[in-house]
Structure 1
């Protein structure tokens, strides 16, 4: 089979809506910061998923041990307006989620929250034990004005660093040492307003895992989804978006994470994924079900709960 060269173009505003900016009265805002890093902030409390900002190049990722790039981390925190965080929530322990999680927690005074593998990443850093929270399936943690419930899911296929981290992981470390561990779907509630969101950071699922749960909005990973059969993509939509009764979906984990956030975002190359193929199927599902489908704008503080008219 011939290898497809290049990468898909990002869809334009006539093809897919983009997230609108939050208004001055929005009780909580959400910012997309690349891959599946998402900031929830109400001006009093703030939580961040993953916190992956180093984004080493592909040659560096493949050839060298990796360590967090503090210059890039600090620049991203400044650009996002982050000074303190209540929690860094790690979706799983692959490097494109967890490489910088402990460093970001250290920089912002946050606790690091995730599975046991994420806990060992925290222990391999300078993060104190009392700022590492290891969760179990169905467990809920409270962070300021936010409550987060962790539901165990499945990583997208293929999982190139399968398995668990079973001892403290110190940097520098090779990419394959960042083993997946548990993969979480995170149900976020902003308690004062009652607004809910699901951050689903890897394109896999366990059938029925979200039954009985609700989220107004889903931040849905599409990483590697473009290589899956249409039937799988449709079932993925059903088991995540439809299962929680969401009315809006914001797509994540589509950008080329071998490229610095200083540069414009672009889709992953066809060698890794086909963003256009996955969006085609998801758009059809969204239109059928009357659900808004959106592409986030990097750094923008949005209000995904705001009523913007008919889908």
Structure 2
């Protein structure tokens, strides 16, 4: 009995040490500061406000829509040790700040969801219930919406892609791929009831978003690639000026993959401007005491953003592309 008790104590201590070490590594960030740029004029018709990971708010002064809208951004300890729920007060604080900065009424025309991992999908049903609009995504995202009792009329399943009409914006959902990390794959076949563990949110299908608006011209002008994955040839025939390029986990992949990713997303689309997104640690809050918080890169355990940034910078110089890193609450005007 004494041996069993001693063994259990040793195993418990080892487990606690392992969890503590993991938590420490997940809070160790590489040094990186995005370059400061002057604020862009608000007079432009089409504007995008970046909100960390691949979350964005888009407006043309008449309607507002979101990509993902993940604002809970749970602390790493909660992600590791507990089940997650929408942090409603935090989400509402961020949403109200978005509408204030965009000088728009507190209403949404819709939310497009990149894939069904919690850091993309979890807050979308809550935001749709609060501010209106439909949630557009895969069947796996629909299971998350059902788990939060979002009315069926506020969810549109775009299993094979399609076009979401959001005011005067047309947003085409294109089947793509998640970055090839250890967190890919799986489908939500039953409603995901909250609170739920982070691993309960299966990827489902992953999408790219192609954005069009008549104020910018008759053709698509922007491609949003939320995750650092791709399907070869997915952008065949597409030409855009601007790419919002997800980099999460990219720094842990080999150089040839990164080169192929750049080729598919940037070179093949003839883009001239690239903004890097989903580079930040999404366990850090966007606001603290009502003030914006500068984003930090993903922890070294999950990514090596300085490495991928240097490679992408090399490709951008070679191909004469303007490469920039977006910080939280930064606005891009078209």
How far apart, CA to CA, are the structure 2 residues paired with 1:153 and 1:127?
26
Q: 1:220 aligns with which of 245, 261, 266?
A: 245
Q: Secondary structure at the match of 2:48?
A: strand
Instruction: Tell me which residue corresponds to 2:165.
Output: 142
Are 2:256 and 1:231 equivalent residues in the alignment?
yes
Instruction: Tell me which residue corresponds to 1:75.
Output: 93
Q: 1:38 aligns with which of 56, 60, 73?
A: 56
Instruction: Tell me which residue corresponds to 1:269.
Output: 299
Instruction: Tell me which residue corresponds to 1:308.
Output: none
Instruction: Tell me which residue corresponds to 1:166.
Output: 189
Compute the TM-score of the two structures, normalised by the length of structure 1. Answer: 0.91
How far apart, CA to CA, are the structure 2 residues paired with 1:46 and 1:234?
34
Instruction: Tell me which residue corresponds to 1:291.
Output: 321
**Matched-pair contact (CA < 8 Å) for 2:34–2:326:** no
Are 2:323 and 1:300 equivalent residues in the alignment?
no
Q: How many residues align?
A: 298
How far apart, CA to CA, are the structure 2 residues paired with 1:276 and 1:68?
31
How far apart, CA to CA, are the structure 2 residues paired with 1:39 and 1:281?
28
Instruction: Tell me which residue corresponds to 2:32.
Output: 10
Q: CA deviation at 1:86?
A: 0.5
Instruction: Tell me which residue corresponds to 2:82.
Output: 64
How far apart, CA to CA, are the structure 1 residues paired with 2:144 and 2:130?
16
Q: Secondary structure at the match of 2:222?
A: strand
Q: CA deviation at 1:166?
A: 1.0
Q: CA deviation at 1:161?
A: 5.1
Q: CA deviation at 1:7?
A: 2.1
Hey, which of these two has a bigger chunk of helix by percent? 2
How far apart, CA to CA, are the structure 2 residues paired with 1:164 and 1:287?
39
**Matched-pair contact (CA < 8 Å) for 1:147–1:190:** yes
How far apart, CA to CA, are the structure 2 residues paired with 1:31 and 1:219?
12
Q: 1:208 aligns with which of 229, 233, 248?
A: 233
**Matched-pair contact (CA < 8 Å) for 1:19–1:294:** no
How far apart, CA to CA, are the structure 1 residues paired with 2:119 and 2:161?
24
- CA RMSD between the two structures: 1.8
1:226/1:162 CA distance change after superposition, 3 Å: same
- Which protein shows a greater Rg? 2
What does the per-residue CA deviation read over 1:60-81, in whole Å, with 9 as the maximum and x for residues that have no partner?
1111111000111011012212
Point out where structure 1 has 5 or more consecutive residues left out of the alignment.
306-311
How far apart, CA to CA, are the structure 1 residues paired with 2:224 and 2:34?
24
Q: CA deviation at 1:143?
A: 1.2
Instruction: Tell me which residue corresponds to 2:13.
Output: none
